Amino acid sequence: MVSEALTPERILEATEDVLRRYGPTKATVVDVARALGVSHGSVYRHFRTKAALREAVTQRWLDRTSEQLGSVAADPGPAERRLDRWLTGLFEAKRHKAGDDPELFATYSVLAGEVNAVVDRHIEELTGQLARIIEDGRTEGVFAANYIGSASETARAVFDATGRFHDPAYAPEWSRPGIEEAFAAVRTLLLRGLRT
């Protein structure tokens, strides 16, 4: 008997533990149910398919970064300082995910490849946050108006230019000597390039 009510959040927490233990290829809904002390049918009442469960757990993992960076984007402070903090926050968040829990990071890298729509929405949300900061900087007169294009186009260019520091494909580089200096050089170049 389950002592706590079975909620989607509890299922996602258990799914994360199961993925950490077994990896994405061996983890099953039955394993998740067993970890929760319920039948697999109980899990399916909340997530209709294994794919839906994997999509939800991937979304939850990506949302942690989006939420953290969203607070930086919404900060009323100067746009240039916010952009600096946002870029640094993205790099640190991704690096911590890869370094603090490498098994789960590897698992999510596999899952992210399976659920492209979730990843696309995540990137859209992140570039939207960047666009807000860039537009605020243009309003403040700190960033050049239409230097590259719209705030959205500029945000996507900034996101792409910093890919080495947040794209999971580059995760092995994030622990190498000199990576902080490389990131600082790119960040400084971008901030200077956006100024009026």
Cβ–Cβ under 8 Å, residues 18 and 53: no
CATH topology of domain 8-46: Arc Repressor Mutant, subunit A (1.10.10)
Would you state the pLDDT for residue 131?
96
Distance CA 112, CA 16 (A): 14
Residue extent(s) of CATH 1.10.357.10 domains in the chain? 57-194
Would you state the pLDDT for residue 107?
85
Cβ–Cβ under 8 Å, residues 77 and 136: no
Query: What does the pLDDT profile of the chain (196 residues) look like in tens digits?
Result: 445 789 999 999 999 999 989 988 899 999 999 999 999 999 999 999 998 998 899 899 899 999 999 999 999 999 999 999 999 999 999 999 998 888 888 888 888 888 888 899 999 999 999 999 999 999 999 998 766 789 999 999 999 999 999 999 999 999 999 999 999 999 999 999 999 7
CB neighbour burial string for 128-163, b if at least 16 within 10 angstroms, e if fewer: ebbbbbbbbbbeeebbeeeeeeebbebbbbbbeebe
CA-atom Rg of the chain in angstroms? 19
Count of alpha carbons within 13 Å of 180, Cβ hemisphere only? 2
Per DSSP, what are the bridge partners of residue 195? Answer: 143
Distance CA 139, CA 105 (A): 38
CATH classification code of 57-194: 1.10.357.10
Residue extent(s) of CATH 1.10.10.60 domains in the chain? 8-46
Cβ–Cβ under 8 Å, residues 112 and 58: yes
